[in-house]
Amino acid sequence: GAVLAVRAVFPRPVPLARALADLERPRRPLADLDSTSPTPGMADRIGRAVVRVVESTGLVDLGGLRRRLRTLDKPIEAHAFEKLLGGVAGFLLPVVFALTVTAAGVSISPAAIAIASVVLALAGFMYPDLGLSEQIERRRRDFRHSLSAYLDLVTIILAGGGGLETALQTSADLGDGWAFSE
């Protein structure tokens, strides 16, 4: 905890390439924000704070995780919030259970509660990562299948006498799903 606090107060300098990439990222103008558009919620703010703290420690490289999550169109902030929420829920579950059982008149060893809290907190923290590789592989497989269908459509339209630009645009319009919109 002390190391995290010191690293949060004195963060590592941001590499120039990353700072320039952040400047190039398109931003939504404030005029586009109206009462019907979604605004960043508490989960997004907490996720951003967790990512900043983890990056400031320098112990974890989040670049690889960002690339993997980009495949799923899932922001790293949402993933960080899920991990934090899972860890906190896993930690509190045995405590709430122990309080309920103690209120009923049964005593439980504090050591057992502490061990269960730590184990379930680690399990809750790791839970969002369990199916991540499988989801990414499924998404890549779906993309390959959609790309194959797209190329088949392009070939058919070109063989039918359509122009190249028409074949590409019409094939993209005929398909549905995230891969065709990409």
Name the burial class of residue 68, with classes exposed (0-12), middle (13-18) and buried (19+) by CB atoms within 10 angstroms of its CB.
middle
The answer to whether 116 touches 91, Cβ cutoff 8 Å, is no
Tell me the pLDDT tens digit for each residue of 142-151: 989 989 989 9
| pLDDT bucket at 158, cuts 50 / 70 / 90 | very high
Q: How far apart are the first and last CA of the chain?
A: 42
Residues present in the chain in total: 182
Tokens of 25: 């990222």
Contacts of residue 181, Cβ cutoff 8 Å, sequence gap at least 6: 172
pTM: 0.63
d(CA 40, CA 47): 11
d(CA 108, CA 98): 7
CA atoms within 13 A on the CB side of 12: 17
Mean pLDDT for the chain overall? 82
For 106, the 3-state DSSP assignment is coil
For 61: left if phi > 0, alpha if psi spans -120 to 50, otherwise beta; the answer is beta
pLDDT of residue 36: 41
Between 138 and 18, the more confident residue is: 138
Between 86 and 172, the more confident residue is: 86
Of residues 146, 162, 142, 143, the one with CA closest to residue 154: 162
With the C-alpha atoms ordered 54, 57, 63, 64, is the resulting torsion angle positive or negative?
A: negative
pLDDT of residue 97: 94
Tokens of 146: 């959609």
